[in-house]
Structure 1
Amino acid sequence: MEYLLVPLAALLASGLTLFSGFGLGTLLLPAFALFFPVDAAVALTAVVHFLNNLFKLALLGRAADRATVLRFGLPAVLCALLGAALLVHLQELRPLLEYGLGGRRLQVTPVKLCVAALMASFALLEIAPRFGSLAFHPRWQPLGGALSGFLGGLSGHQGALRSAFLLRAGLSKEAFVATGVVTACLVDVSRLSLYAAHFAADGLGANAGLLALACLAAFAGAFLGRRLLRKVTLRAVQVLVAGLLLLLSLALGAGLV
């Protein structure tokens, strides 16, 4: 049954990016967290995110602004390693609380609380009208790269901050998109290099087939959807998805997921 439910959840999450305004990673993380440990969900989301951006990189990579990539991307790559290392460390900490509910033994762990808090925070920020128009002066790009990279390594939430720090960089539309894609790919490579070692240590290779199937389903949903439908943000869908993300983050933080 899981070989049906997991890919279906990934496919639906990918499809929602067309109407909700949320990024692929933001929606895939909670979907995968329903079926996998939270650190595995973050890493799996990173794989899909990376594969999805490779296609964009092949099309737009040459248009990226090299100076901005260095100024913003280098701190992002370095801090992504720190964020990924923190994720691994949090996963190894003992549960903060254990309790029983409905015959189940549930645990509230540091890694679940951390990722749940970030999920809830970015769900609220994404629907805040002012956040969409937030833009920082170019002098803050190294700091923005460090912050978005760190959060990218920790939970995968990097896209919204990256855009806010690059909006006023004086780039053309094509260069803006390409620079963001190049930076995102660099961050994904950086954090995946650390995640891979952790996966091997945890013996998650037994789920390799299921993980690969989920990756393909999510990638197919995003790939096909963007070519069959025009992306449009529907406010009602956006608010509904944000509400569901908040509920899932509360369940994750409470140890129910």
Structure 2
Amino acid sequence: MEILIISLAAFLTAILTFFSGFGLGTILAPVFILFFPVDLAIALTGVVHFFNNIFKLFLVGKDADRTVLLRFGLPAIVAAALGAWLLLQISDSRPLLEYSLGESVFQITPVKLTIAVLLMVFALMDLIPYLERIRIDQKYLPFGGVLSGFFGGLSGHQGALRSAFLIKAGLSKEAFIGTSVVLGALIDFSRLTVYASRFLDAGLVENIPLVLIATGSAILGAYLGNKLLKKVTLTFLQRFIAILLFLIAIALGAGWI
């Protein structure tokens, strides 16, 4: 059942997010969290996200702006490794709180609480008009790389911050999309090298068939998204998903999932 749900989520999300402001990882990670421990779910999502970005490199990577890649990408690579390392550290921490509801016992752990807070923050960025309109001057691109890379490594949330900084970089639509894809792939590669030190022995290998099917679904979705949705704006859907992410964050923070 989890293969069907995750693959369908990857396929639909890849279609809808090819040119929109929210990312594959933002939506797919909570779906993985329903079936796997939080830290492993983020790693599995990272693998699917990485190979989906590699596919998109062949479609739009040629349009990437090299200057922006250097100014934003180099700090992002370092920060992504740091964020991934921090995820590994807090995943080993003891529960902050344990409580019972009826016959069920729930635990609030540092990693779940951290990811829940980040989910809420990034969901609010799509729900609050003022936050949605924030655009940051291009002189802060290296700082943007640090933020996007760090949170990409810690929770997989890199796209919203990246867009907020790149939108002011004076890029054409094609360059904006191509640069975003290349930066996403660089951040994914950086964090996956850190995740590998832990998760090759903690469930990643056992779930390779699931990752391959989900990746294939995402690639097919990205291909269709490139063909069908170049001029579509998905504001309503974006906000609807943000509400769902907020509800998932509450459940995650409370230890229910």
TM over 0.5: yes
- Residue 83 of structure 1: CA displacement? 0.3
Query: Structure 1 residues 236 and 139 mapped into 2: Cα distance closer, same or farther (>3 Å)?
Result: closer
Give yes or no for contact 1:20–1:237 (8 Å, CA) kept in 2.
no
- Residue 92 of structure 1: CA displacement? 0.8
- Residue 73 of structure 1: CA displacement? 0.5
2:252 maps to which residue?
Answer: 252
2: CA distance between counterparts of 1:229 and 1:141?
28
2: CA distance between counterparts of 1:225 and 1:66?
25
1:116 maps to which residue?
Answer: 116
- Residue 236 of structure 1: CA displacement? 3.9
> Deviations for 1:82-130, whole angstroms, at most 9, x for unmatched residues?
0000111111111111122342322111000001111111011023323
1: CA distance between counterparts of 2:202 and 2:46?
17
2: CA distance between counterparts of 1:235 and 1:61?
25
Give yes or no for contact 1:14–1:28 (8 Å, CA) kept in 2.
no
2: CA distance between counterparts of 1:20 and 1:135?
16
Give yes or no for contact 1:83–1:151 (8 Å, CA) kept in 2.
yes
1:156 maps to which residue?
Answer: 156
Query: Structure 1 residues 67 and 125 mapped into 2: Cα distance closer, same or farther (>3 Å)?
Result: same
Query: Structure 1 residues 145 and 235 mapped into 2: Cα distance closer, same or farther (>3 Å)?
Result: closer
Give yes or no for contact 1:18–1:233 (8 Å, CA) kept in 2.
no
Give yes or no for contact 2:56–2:222 (8 Å, CA) kept in 1.
no
Q: Which runs of 5+ in 1 are unaligned?
A: none
1:49 maps to which residue?
Answer: 49
Specify the code of the residue in structure 1 equivalent to 2:53.
N
2: CA distance between counterparts of 1:69 and 1:20?
20
Larger mean CA deviation between 68-77 and 131-140 belongs to 131-140
2:106 maps to which residue?
Answer: 106
Specify the code of the residue in structure 2 equivalent to 1:36.
F
Give yes or no for contact 2:77–2:190 (8 Å, CA) kept in 1.
yes
2:224 maps to which residue?
Answer: 224
Give yes or no for contact 1:48–1:219 (8 Å, CA) kept in 2.
no
Give yes or no for contact 1:10–1:31 (8 Å, CA) kept in 2.
no
Which secondary structure state, in structure 2, belongs to the residue aligned with residue 106 of structure 1?
strand
Which secondary structure state, in structure 2, belongs to the residue aligned with residue 88 of structure 1?
helix
Query: Structure 1 residues 29 and 97 mapped into 2: Cα distance closer, same or farther (>3 Å)?
Result: same
2:167 maps to which residue?
Answer: 167
Corresponding pairs, count: 257
Specify the code of the residue in structure 2 equivalent to 1:119.
L
1:73 maps to which residue?
Answer: 73
1: CA distance between counterparts of 2:224 and 2:156?
23
Specify the code of the residue in structure 2 equivalent to 1:176.
F
Query: Structure 1 residues 57 and 15 mapped into 2: Cα distance closer, same or farther (>3 Å)?
Result: closer
Are residue 94 (structure 1) and residue 57 (structure 2) matched? Answer: no
Q: Which runs of 5+ in 2 are unaligned?
A: none
Query: Structure 1 residues 74 and 250 mapped into 2: Cα distance closer, same or farther (>3 Å)?
Result: same
1: CA distance between counterparts of 2:48 and 2:203?
20
- Residue 11 of structure 1: CA displacement? 3.8
1:140 maps to which residue?
Answer: 140
* Structure 1 length-normalised TM: 0.89
- Aligned-residue Cα RMSD (Å) equals 2.3
Which secondary structure state, in structure 2, belongs to the residue aligned with residue 60 of structure 1?
helix
Which secondary structure state, in structure 1, belongs to the residue aligned with residue 107 of structure 2?
strand
* Structure 2 length-normalised TM: 0.89
1: CA distance between counterparts of 2:168 and 2:47?
29
- Residue 194 of structure 1: CA displacement? 1.0
- Residue 230 of structure 1: CA displacement? 5.6
Specify the code of the residue in structure 1 equivalent to 2:41.
A
Give yes or no for contact 1:61–1:179 (8 Å, CA) kept in 2.
yes
Give yes or no for contact 1:43–1:195 (8 Å, CA) kept in 2.
yes
Query: Structure 1 residues 119 and 178 mapped into 2: Cα distance closer, same or farther (>3 Å)?
Result: same
2:243 maps to which residue?
Answer: 243
2: CA distance between counterparts of 1:61 and 1:14?
17
Give yes or no for contact 2:69–2:183 (8 Å, CA) kept in 1.
yes
Q: Quick one: percent identity of the two aligned structures?
A: 56
Query: Structure 1 residues 103 and 4 mapped into 2: Cα distance closer, same or farther (>3 Å)?
Result: farther
Query: Structure 1 residues 59 and 8 mapped into 2: Cα distance closer, same or farther (>3 Å)?
Result: closer
